[in-house]
Structure 1
């Protein structure tokens, strides 16, 4: 199962600046500045024409890819004219207008709202982009009587929408994931209102609609050949779901506190759930029983906002990004932090983080407020 940052080095007057830079940068494999200098708001890994790359977005919703071999960046506009729902959807009062009235209501898509979240995967061997909308996604398209974020799949080469616009969220999309299944790739989306939707990626056909927890933390993966989703958020418990049937897998796992983000992976042969909440720590829970799987992993000075997964030498590794704090890397098998924070002296923490493999080596990729992309090694030099 793959999905998918470290310590501040103080500047001591007796240590030359060049030495501090070397200490901080020994894990940086590549640095790609952005000639346009726009802040990176999101990143997702993908493979383009056989080369490792990331797709990212700027604050205005514009999309681009960065080749992690050459640093070349290419813009990827998407067909926003096709972003509106294909079928009538209920307004805030629950009214569903007929097709003619629905067509008359369609307005202009807001790229910022359409691309609130993003992830990338492949469909029939071709890279595709999946986007989740913000809470005013449908408002910009259908008017003030509508609210909620839609999910869409896009052909990365042409920018054309694939399948239907997937609606059903009353507020913004908070988490996106894709998993393989017997029905083909599935896209799972969770929202602020706690609704988890499961759809067939290629068509947009709805598979399941699940009531999760408000604030919509969610992760998904294939466990023992079965696509599962884990939800959390406002409630002090986690729930596990069969993504194909929408049925609960066991009862709620009581963890005692709300969570901001969750992840699902395998550690030492056991399926575990990772969570992070208001206490700035990363915690592991045994998926079948819900019991703690080791002690908390602490070190962040801010709230953990994201967990990205990879593997190092067969061991599960998590990369955490936190508010106003550099990313940290954790060896989950050994329950310890790997190295220092992913920080460059004199710079703000990264604005976006992801992880991937390049030529068999796991790396972390960070995006920054000046548009720079950096590739960091996970293993020791």
Structure 2
């Protein structure tokens, strides 16, 4: 993708956290908007049709557990005086290590996964990390219960609809796979995967399925509601998994995973590899995003999103049915997501200077 394909950019505010947590897109009142949370715990939205950006603070006073959580976990007694009750407090800069968006009862919500040690006791002792929370996009107020179960920071986070309602599904640095009913906070699954767990989830044949990987070179598929493994490990990986996606390609449910600098694909039903690995990156792939463009299933792959590396990365676009690269690489940007704006397919990227950019993905051949 060349500079001629850049549609517009948004800069001059704290959207730069997108280079770490991701910048998902949701449709709001008919307009696609990006969503991110900065290091002060402020929620940012930008209208991708060319409108402006709006900020609103998250209600951080409600970021900790409710009182019954302390009692249920043996941290308080019912007869403790208020001054005897040690409360957990949250670090705003760590509250949104990962961000995704969804809709609950017709209202848009932001789901955040905390970073390492995102909550601690008031006396300063580090306790744990990886709280998952849901927030009302319009008000910044917390929805439902905080979802506690990870030991360290959240690595991957998404939502999937199921017969038990909307599920929040996440993995963390220790490799734990967890899912909760988003509105009730009831835990649905707890399983152990690879450390620094990558994950993607989707509804497959009416059931929510998650695919996990990480530092160990293997991929595992899970039925989220039952907690059962689906078959054996997906074969052929040579490196730790850098990113995972699940998509449809010519009627097949396909798992994509970053295997070092290679993008590999498997048929989820048969668990067999599809074609040869897609190559073109000189460094490891760290993010995989999918979209449908001109009737074609495509994937976008981006490199390491290290916040200390201000050069950005290389982003490539792939035709998944043909197994070939589309167009020229885009360099100097971090890959965030893909969406559609006024009928035009676009890639959303970010820069270390806090800017978010849109790129036209319309096929040129």
TM-score (norm 2): 0.88
Does the 8 Å contact 1:106/1:142 carry over to 2?
no
Say whether 1:328 aligns with 2:311.
no
d(CA) in 1 for partners of 2:86 and 2:14?
36
Q: Does 1:371 align with 2:354?
A: yes
Supply the distance in 1 between the matched residues of 2:122 and 2:323 (Cα, whole angstroms): 47
Does the 8 Å CA contact 2:41/2:92 hold for their aligned counterparts? yes
Seen in structure 2, the aligned counterparts of structure 1 residues 109 and 288 have a Cα distance that, compared at 3 Å, is same
Contact 1:307–1:318 (Cα < 8 Å) also in 2: yes
Is the CA contact (8 Å cut-off) linking 1:297 and 1:335 kept in structure 2? yes
CA RMSD of aligned residues (A): 2.3
1:26 alignment partner in structure 2 = 4
Checking the alignment, whether the CA contact within 8 Å between 1:300 and 1:325 is kept in structure 2 is no
How is 1:164-175 mapped onto 2 (pairs within 5 angstroms)?
164-175=145-156
Return the TM-score normalized by structure 1: 0.85
1:355 pairs with 2:343: no
- The structure richer in strand per residue is 2
Cα deviations across residues 204-257 of structure 1 (Å, max 9, x unaligned)?
211111222221111100112211000111333211111111111122223343
Structure-2 residue corresponding to 1:346: none
Q: Name the structure 1 match of 2:250.
A: 268
1:71–1:173: structure 2 CA closer, same or farther, 3 Å change rule?
same
Change beyond 3 A, Cα 1:238–1:39: closer
The count of residues paired between Structure 1 and Structure 2 equals 349
Distance 2:171 2:15 in 1: 32
1:70 has 2:53 as partner: no
> Retained in 1: the 8 A contact 2:34–2:45?
yes
The answer on 1:203 being equivalent to 2:184 is yes
Provide the secondary structure at the position in 1 that maps to 2:134: strand
After TM superposition, the structure 1 = structure 2 runs for residues 1-381 of structure 1, keeping only pairs within 5 Å, are 24-34=2-12, 40-41=18-19, 42-86=22-66, 87-88=68-69, 96-99=74-77, 104-139=85-120, 143-257=124-238, 258-278=240-260, 280-323=261-304, 324-343=312-331, 349-381=332-364
Q: Where do 5+ consecutive residues of structure 1 fail to align? A: 1-5, 7-23, 344-348
Q: Give the deviation of 1:142 after TM superposition.
A: 8.1
Say if 1:224 and 1:197 are closer, same or farther in 2 by CA, change over 3 A. same
State the structure with bigger RCO (CA 8 A, min sep 6), 1 or 2: 1
Rate the CA distance shift 1:52–1:372 in 2: closer, same or farther, 3 A: same
The whole-number CA distance in structure 1 between the counterparts of 2:123 and 2:156 is 23
Which runs of 5 or more structure 2 residues have no equivalent in the other structure? 305-311
